[in-house]
Amino acid sequence: MRKFFAAATVMGMIFGVVLNGFPAELKTGSKAADFFLKDSAGKTYSLSAPEFAGKVLSIFYVDPDAKDLNHLAEEVLLKDAVLVGHAHYKGFSISNLKATKIPLFLVKSAIKDKQHKTGILILLDNDYTILRLWGLKNHTSSLVILDKEGICRYVHNGKLSRAHVENVRKMINEYLIK
């Protein structure tokens, strides 16, 4: 009888996982699933929002505890003369609020400060929405590049090397021409 209940429990767990599904990992060439996230002012954004639709997007998904991990990449993209103000490009960040150990009022204050200093849009992910939708492997820092049709052209989990940063910058510029 114990074996039956143990087997039934295991089968139930497996069945539950199958029903809930695993997130489909966002891969190069696949369409990014849409999301609905708010910024610090409460405005809701999605990939189909006018700010993003039809644009090449660079999206940093960041755990606030590791906010400086890919600072170099953010700086390079923010200062690229071709990208700054380009009508068909938008770079922004999504802050993984669920992963941080920092009190949320401090994180949100830092986000507002960063937005004020850099002008970058930072969306708030309160419940691993992006990790679930895109199946990102890294909770600390990921970079996703989407083309004008929302097709993933690049995913990098973790710290970007200087060479990766330069390749990303070139890639974004190439997709702006296509």
The CATH number assigned to the domain holding 125 equals 3.40.30.10
Q: Are 157 and 44 in contact (CB under 8 A)?
A: no
Structure tokens at 171: 């890639």
- Please, what is the average pLDDT of the chain? 87
112: in domain = yes
The model's pLDDT over 102-128, given as tens digits with 9 standing for 90+, comes to 999 999 999 999 999 888 999 999 999
| % of the chain residues with pLDDT over 90 | 73
Which candidate, 83, 19, 59, places its Cα nearest to that of 153? 59
62: in domain = yes
CA distance 5 to 3: 6
Which candidate, 144, 171, 156, 172, places its Cα nearest to that of 32? 144
- Write down the pTM of the prediction: 0.84
102: in domain = yes
| Residue 166: per-residue pLDDT | 95
Q: Is the pLDDT at 10 greater than 60, yes or no?
A: no
The model's pLDDT over 120-166, given as tens digits with 9 standing for 90+, comes to 999 999 999 999 999 987 668 999 999 999 999 999 999 999 999 99
Domain that holds residue 59: 26-177
| % of the chain residues with pLDDT over 70 | 86
4: in domain = no
CA distance 125 to 128: 6
CA distance 1 to 7: 10
The model's pLDDT over 40-54, given as tens digits with 9 standing for 90+, comes to 999 999 999 999 999
154 membership: H or E segment, kind and range: strand 152-157
164: in domain = yes
36: in domain = yes
Domains contained in the chain, number: 1
161: in domain = yes
